[in-house]
Amino acid sequence: MLALGKLLELTLAGREPAEKTQLTVDGVRMRWLAEGALEVRPPEARDNGMDVLLSAGIHGNETAPIELLDRLLHDIARGDVKPRARILFLFGNPAAMRTGARFVEEDLNRLFNGRHENSSGPEALRACELEHLAETFFSQPDRTRLHYDLHTAIRGSKIEQFALYPYKEGRAHSREELARLRAAGMEAVLLQNKPSIVFSAYTYDRLGVEAFTLELGKARPFGQNAGVNVTRLERRLEQIIEGTEPPLADESLEGLQLFSVAREVIKHSDAFILHLPADVENFSELPKGYLLAQDTPQTRWVIEEEGARIIFPNPKVKNGLRAGMIIEPVSSMAFA
């Protein structure tokens, strides 16, 4: 296997490869771009015009997606997977990955779409670098563009594998991409309704990419991910990379649950209280009239929506950041 196929090993060791560019026996070019960043390019005659960014480790303790990308890279470096697409593999936060921490100083996934310009420290610098790497990778015109940013969640979830679909005013969500997500094992998709500061929102909004955050289960340390089943996603990624994916128009949306964001719960002060158990799971249902949270004396979040659920509850975030989202089901008929 080519040494560059061991990008994870190099990243965790904090080493640069001796050779920055290598070719597989099939002529696939692997090029080291920066720490945790590797570009894979098929021979020109096999290039099908698709650019795929696969990122993981934006939070350093979310290891199942990191291990998934490591397996794909090994297979490419050995020649077992033969790319027809260009791929950029990114391990987002190497410093946090090395310590098994979510982040070093601040949450990297809250520093995109220019947010890093208002901050300092290692995560701010890394967010700027990741934006630059993505922008350069997606700079070639007239190509199909896809970005999957792979995560696992802090807490358990009643719907274990789901995707977040970013928002941009005037841009419609794609039925074909929803079908691709369902085929990749996603049980639900959250259709966002406002701009965001996460990595997938940056590539979707600024670079025009079809981009998604994928949540694949609960975060566990390296080597302890037997309970995170990514078989369907791994198979679909291999098909995308090799250009063997079945036509998306033939894929069904049956069984895919769709949700939209009704409201965000923003923590304004240290007085913030979230009225949920510490171990509450994502997608837990909330009854109408329930006092979900309160902050300053005038700020209360009372459930008004039919079929409301909570996602990403976290009362420990910094003041001014999102402490949870109230979501509600939507019909898939608009995408039939």
Catalytically active residues are 215
Q: Which of 69, 71, 75 is nearest to 56 (CA)?
A: 69
Q: Is 59 annotated as a binding residue?
A: yes
Q: Is 116 annotated as a binding residue?
A: no
Alpha carbons 53 and 40: distance in angstroms, whole number: 10
29 burial (CB, 10 Å; 0-12 / 13-18 / 19+) is: middle
Helix, strand, coil percent content, the chain, rounded in steps of 5: 30, 25, 45
234 burial (CB, 10 Å; 0-12 / 13-18 / 19+) is: middle
Q: Hey, what amino acid is at 149?
A: D
Q: Helix (H, G, I), strand (E, B), or coil: what is residue 242? A: helix
Alpha-helical runs (H) found in 152-303: 175-183, 199-207, 231-242
The C-alpha angle 143, 181, 38, rounded to 5 degrees, equals: 50
Alpha carbons 63 and 68: distance in angstroms, whole number: 9
Q: Helix (H, G, I), strand (E, B), or coil: what is residue 306? A: coil
Q: What is the torsional sign of CA 150, 155, 160, 162?
A: negative
Q: Is 132 annotated as a binding residue?
A: no
Q: Helix (H, G, I), strand (E, B), or coil: what is residue 211? A: strand
Q: Which residues are annotated as a binding site for Zn(2+)?
A: 59, 62, 151
